């Protein structure tokens, strides 16, 4: 955690927290810090949320706005999707959601913010949570073409490591964030489940947050398709 007189930034990864702090110190605002920290977390704690996942943010900017980057199902989704492998996936909303948040509320250029994040990724050491997740899910990772590279990482927390495909992807996203929904989509479509159009038509949703009064407090939550509304049920 980093605390200042006007800001605070915290995450489960010290590198992500540091990246957020460095961006803020370089003239960025709170959203820039969040974008940098979030990007680093896709590298240091990919099992908890990565570029293939979803995105959700609440921003106080005159009103409380929700940026919801939840992916949608492809055209070929089966009636009963399996729990594993490509047929269980939806179009990832993370990158589009993160970029939308920055586009609407960031201060520094996107390229500069992501450059800070990549610099932190290149200094990464094995987080204990990542080491534990790899150990617990070794059988699943061994059966997955993309997952097998994680089995080659060091087993000792604190050991330096590199995941070159992910670094390469972030360098590309630094220059062209929405290339994820074009270039990456074409690669994914070759697996025979997704279509390029599933990706190219995707857009994150932006709107007012849900709110409720609870005593002297006002509680804000994200609207559907998130489950934030469940908190507001009485």
For the chain, the domains span 2-124+162-232, 128-159
User: What's the pLDDT at 193?
Assistant: 84
User: What's the pLDDT at 224?
Assistant: 84
User: What's the pLDDT at 47?
Assistant: 94
Strands (E), the chain: 2-3, 8-9, 55-61, 63-69, 205-208, 210-214, 217-221
User: CA–CA separation, 69 vs 80, rounded Å?
Assistant: 23
Considering Cα of 92, then 96, then 98, then 101, what sign does the dihedral take?
A: negative
Q: Count Cβ neighbours within 10 Å for each residue of 83-101 and write b for 16 or more, e otherwise.
A: eeeebebbbbbbbbbbbbb
CB 7 within 8 A of CB 24: yes
Give the tokens for residue 100.
Answer: 């939308």
Query: pTM for the complete prediction?
Result: 0.92
Q: Which regions of the chain are under pLDDT 50?
A: none
pLDDT, tens only, 184-217: 888 888 877 888 999 999 999 999 999 988 889 9
Q: List beta partners, residue 220.
A: 211
User: What's the pLDDT at 230?
Assistant: 74
User: What's the pLDDT at 128?
Assistant: 97
């Amino acid at each position: 955690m980093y605390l200042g007189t006007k800001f605070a930034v915290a995450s489960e990864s010290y590198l992500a927290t540091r990246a957020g702090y460095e961006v803020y110190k370089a003239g960025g605002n709170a959203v820039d810090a969040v974008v940098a920290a979030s990007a680093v977390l896709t590298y240091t704690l990919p099992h908890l949320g990565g570029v293939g996942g979803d995105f959700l943010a609440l921003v106080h900017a005159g009103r409380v706005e929700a940026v919801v980057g939840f992916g949608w199902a492809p055209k070929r989704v089966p009636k009963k999707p399996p729990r594993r492998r490509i047929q269980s996936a939806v179009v990832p909303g993370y990158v589009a959601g993160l970029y939308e948040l920055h586009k609407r509320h960031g201060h520094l250029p996107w390229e500069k913010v992501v450059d800070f994040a990549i610099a932190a990724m290149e200094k990464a050491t094995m987080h204990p949570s990542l080491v534990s997740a790899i150990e617990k899910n070794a059988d699943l990772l061994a059966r997955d073409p993309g997952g097998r590279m994680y089995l080659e990482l060091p087993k000792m927390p604190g050991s330096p490591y590199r995941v070159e495909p992910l670094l390469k992807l972030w360098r590309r996203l630094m220059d062209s964030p929405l290339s994820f929904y074009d270039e990456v989509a074409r690669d994914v479509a070759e697996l025979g489940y997704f279509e390029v159009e599933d990706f190219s038509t995707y857009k994150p949703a932006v709107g007012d947050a849900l709110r409720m009064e609870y005593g002297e407090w006002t509680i804000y939550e994200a609207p559907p398709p998130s489950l934030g509304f469940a908190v507001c049920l009485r």
